[in-house]
Chain A
Amino acid sequence: MFVNQFLFLAAVLFCIGVYGVIARKNAVLMLMSIELILNSVNINLLTFAMRNGSTDGHTFALYIIAVAAAEVGVGLGLVLLVYRNKKTISVDELSEMRG
């Protein structure tokens, strides 16, 4: 197996995630796209762990999974709060801070 095939897969997933963050209006779908990005980073870390024969990448990947879980928890809490106050989770309509 080539190093590059895993890294290319991660790059494709990362770009799809970036497209999702840009194109989506629904806040829950934006969070899902962020999960795609975090997963592509994990694939990268584990690829380099195998290439270099070390276990550091595994530790980092586990930490990223934990941080992603925390991020989703707080993110969905924020989305719920926004929905309760504005009756919508479309990020285009949250424009109070526009000058």
Chain B
Amino acid sequence: MIAQNIGFWIIAVLMVVSALRVVTTNNVVHAALWLVVVLAGAAGQYILLAAEFVAITQVLVYIGAVMVLFLFGTMLTRARIGAESDLNNSYKKLGIPVGLVMLVAMGLALTRSFGDEKLPESAKVVSTQEVSDQIFGPYLLPFWALSFVLLAAVVGAIVLARKD
């Protein structure tokens, strides 16, 4: 448990610092690369939470596919790759109090609801077989709906981005 705790805090600090860099850096490509650190850290947290299949999916889908999409989007919409000064809008000062108020509200709610409650010590790793039994068993209908969502998204993205 101690080793897991140390791992958690290292990854958590790394994730928070990288997330702050994502929303504050002046370079879109750097933001994308910091986002990779956050997503990889999230995969590490999923492994700590005994969710190996979700962690692998996170690495494959987010770091593999979504980041490539982001980098392509950056390349196709902007000529230059360097730092820019006009990435933030005039509401930047409004964002800080909004974020802080939400954080305080959520922190109070979490402290009051869960306090010192601990996660079960002997939780076993959820195997891929259990997850697939869930998806293709009780959650089959949402899975079908999700397939249609993905199909519609693919067709929609092609229709939107195509030059006619």
Q: Residues of A at under 8 Å CB distance from B?
A: 1-9, 11-20, 22-26, 28-29, 31-33, 35-36, 39, 42-43, 46-47, 49-51, 53, 55-56, 58-59, 61-63, 65-74, 76-81, 83-84, 89-92
Contacts and interface: CB of A to CB of B under 8 A. Distances in A.
Contacts of B142: 63
Contacts of B54: 42, 46, 58, 61-62, 65
Interface in B114-146: 114-120, 123, 126, 130-131, 134-135, 139, 142-143, 146
Contacts, number: 250
Given A20-B22, A25-B89, A58-B54, A43 B154 contact: no
A96 to B, nearest CB: 17
Given A4-B111, A19-B98, A61-B51, A32 B70 contact: yes
Interface string B134-164: 1100010011001001101110111011010
A35 B34 CA distance: 12
Interface string B25-51: 000100110010011001001101111
A5 B111 CA distance: 10
B126 A51 contact: no
